[in-house]
Amino acid sequence: MTKSILHRDRSSNNVAAGLAALLFILPCTSEAQEVLEAPPPHPLTLHDCIAIALGESPALEASRYDVFSAAQEVRAAQGMALPLLTGSAQYQLFSGSPTTKFSVISLGSVTPGGTVVTANTVGWTGIEQYGAHLKYPLFNDGSILGLNNAPAIAEKKAKKQAMAWTVNLTREDVIYRITDEFVATVSARNRMGLAERRVKLLDQSVSVTQEQQKQGLKLPIDVKVAKEQFSAAQTLLTLIREQAVAGSLGLSKTLGLASSSKLSLSNILPDPPDPPPTTEQLLGACLSHHPSLEKQRAVIDQAKQDYRLERFRLYPSVFLDGSATEIDEFDPSNSASVFVGAIAISVPIFDFGAQLATTRSKLMKYKAEQARLFSTADDVNYEVLKTYQTIYNLTHNILSLQGDVSKAKRDVEVIEAQQQQGIAEPLTVIEKELHLIAKQDELQGIEARQLTYYARLQKAAGGAWKWIP
């Protein structure tokens, strides 16, 4: 009877424990099911990455702030050429004059015994004084009543224009960098399968070579060479994996996303562009509207206005100076108003040639920037031509490798057919497939590099030719 009761208690305890475990497991199972059934994140394409980067790039954001800052400098320069009105107010507590080192107000004549003989009267009347002052530069530093485009204002406008062209250059640089990182990362991921297949085949090659050595068909040096090739293939696989991880981390940081070594990226690289325009057409457009040249032209204008500003400072300046003062002593009979108006002329007479030397320095700076425009044009020319040359060489290598890959595929199919017939050696089959993998890996690497140089051509052209919008 006792055993029956004990058995029944254990059963009920087991049932209760089972129900509790089931109640605990069901929510976990449902959550896991939701995670498994959750749709995977949309893999980012190159265009997606560029769109995100253009909104998140710190360099581009800094360039935009530079433009805003330059715009405010223009407004400040315009304000400096217009009338300046200031106001003042003061309250006079007392009046008097110091008589000794420690006495602020004269108390009168004092005897040696400390008796005051003649007292001095100090005014504690409490006078209020209000004033307004107007200063208007009629002619100053080339500004006429603040109505013309004075050199100080024109210099700030040229600086703003240079900053605006810098934004365009920064934008093209961001596009090129994102394209380079995306292509490098996706290419490394795509080539990882070939690297893993190479490691697997070389592992088989080591096993076959060792077996043939036991049979006396291979020498120890053959086994050593096979092991070295296997080790090198493992190292290459590790490097490709690290390149893919580094590319994912770098791209995540550039895009402002959470750092992840498995960033969801599309494994499809963009297609190569249609044949770009001829060198003559591209260079003609670049030399006319390239952002680097436009920026340099704005810098030249800025240097020119700096020179004009310093030159005008050698001339006299004319100001309209006016003021109005109201004195209130809390007595209508003692109140007074004072108005002053004058035209002031400031004439530079002698400063040991400091201003003249400054003017000459600005003139030389202006001429240097003019000469630098031709240097910038040469740099644009050189970059475009070198990029074209590299693209040509890569295209030639791709055509050659495509032929090698086709031939290697044919050899692999033939040797596999022979292996099925039992007339091909295992090592020969492995060598043929390894040769095919090497050619495919080389072809994918050069194709990725070609895409990077197309992006570099767009950057070199300053956006005059668009491959990636």
Q: Look up the CATH number of the domain holding residue 250.
A: 1.20.1600.10
Question: Are 285 and 380 within one domain?
Answer: yes
What mean pLDDT is predicted for residues 194-208? Answer: 94
Q: How many CB atoms lie within 10 A of CB 160?
A: 20
What's 333's domain CATH number? 2.20.25
- Top pLDDT among 88 and 128 is at 88
| Residue 15 located in a structural domain | no
As a whole number of angstroms, the distance between CA 132 and CA 306 comes to 34
Give the burial class of 372: count Cβ atoms within 10 A of its Cβ; 0-12 exposed, 13-18 middle, 19 or more buried. middle
Question: Are 196 and 300 within one domain?
Answer: yes
**Of 326, 347, 368, which residue is a domain's last?**
347
**Structure-block tokens of residue 242:** 């690290």
72 pLDDT higher than 50: yes
**Of 294, 329, 347, which residue is a domain's last?**
347
As a whole number of angstroms, the distance between CA 387 and CA 401 comes to 21
The angle subtended at Cα 235 by Cα 253 and Cα 205, nearest 5°, is 140
61: amino acid identity, one letter: E
- Among residues 361, 372, 369, 373, the alpha carbon closest in space to that of 307 is found at 361
Following DSSP, what letter does each residue of 167-197 receive, concatenated?
Answer: HHHHHHHHHHHHHHHHHHHHHHHHHHHHHHH
- Is residue 318 helix, strand or coil? strand
Question: Are 372 and 332 within one domain?
Answer: no
Question: Are 353 and 453 within one domain?
Answer: yes
What mean pLDDT is predicted for residues 154-159? Answer: 94
| Residue 235 located in a structural domain | yes
Buried b or exposed e, range 192-226, using 16+ CB within 10 angstroms: eebbebbbebbbbbbebbeebbeeeebeeebeeeb
Q: Can you say whether the dihedral through the CA atoms of 52, 53, 55, 57 is positive or negative?
A: positive
16: pLDDT confidence band, cut at 50, 70 and 90?
A: very low
Task: Output the pLDDT for position 332.
Answer: 60
121 pLDDT higher than 70: no
314-351: pLDDT as tens digits = 999 999 999 988 877 665 666 778 888 899 999 999 99
Question: Are 326 and 287 within one domain?
Answer: no
Question: Are 328 and 286 within one domain?
Answer: no
Average pLDDT, the chain: 83
| Residue 62 located in a structural domain | yes
| Residue 343 located in a structural domain | yes
| Residue 326 located in a structural domain | yes
DSSP 38: S
Q: Which has the minimum average pLDDT: 17-21, 215-219, 252-256, 421-425?
A: 17-21
| Residue 379 located in a structural domain | yes
Q: Which helix (H) or strand (E) holds 434?
A: helix 426-460
| Residue 418 located in a structural domain | yes
Question: Are 420 and 287 within one domain?
Answer: yes
Question: Are 76 and 221 within one domain?
Answer: yes
- Top pLDDT among 91 and 176 is at 176
104 pLDDT higher than 60: no
Q: Which has the minimum average pLDDT: 227-236, 284-293, 339-348, 368-377?
A: 284-293
- Among residues 407, 468, 416, 461, the alpha carbon closest in space to that of 435 is found at 407
As a whole number of angstroms, the distance between CA 213 and CA 209 comes to 6
Q: Half-sphere exposure (CA, 13 Å, Cβ side) for 350?
A: 1
98 pLDDT higher than 70: no
Question: Are 258 and 234 within one domain?
Answer: yes
Number of domains, the chain: 2
Q: Let me know: does 117 contact 298? Beta carbons within 8 Å.
A: no
As a whole number of angstroms, the distance between CA 367 and CA 347 comes to 29
Task: Output the pLDDT for position 18.
Answer: 45
131 pLDDT higher than 60: yes
The domain in which residue 412 lies consists of 51-80+149-313+348-460
Q: Let me know: does 107 contact 120? Beta carbons within 8 Å.
A: yes
Per DSSP, what are the bridge partners of residue 179? none
| Residue 18 located in a structural domain | no
6: pLDDT confidence band, cut at 50, 70 and 90?
A: very low
What mean pLDDT is predicted for residues 195-201? Answer: 95
Question: Are 57 and 142 within one domain?
Answer: no
**Structure-block tokens of residue 64:** 């935009």
Task: Output the pLDDT for position 321.
Answer: 92
Question: Are 340 and 216 within one domain?
Answer: no
Task: Output the pLDDT for position 216.
Answer: 87
**Structure-block tokens of residue 259:** 């750092």
**Structure-block tokens of residue 133:** 């002052």
8 pLDDT higher than 50: no
Question: Are 424 and 391 within one domain?
Answer: yes
419-451: pLDDT as tens digits = 888 888 888 999 999 999 999 999 999 999 999
**Of 347, 371, 391, which residue is a domain's last?**
347
Phi, psi of 425 (to 5 degrees): -80, 145
374: pLDDT confidence band, cut at 50, 70 and 90?
A: very high
- Top pLDDT among 203 and 329 is at 203
Q: Residues near 265 by Cβ (< 8 Å), separated by ≥ 6?
A: 43, 44, 49, 182, 185, 186, 189, 248, 251
- Among residues 275, 265, 71, 262, the alpha carbon closest in space to that of 178 is found at 265
Going by DSSP bridges, is the β-strand pair 127-140/84-92 parallel, antiparallel, or unpaired? antiparallel
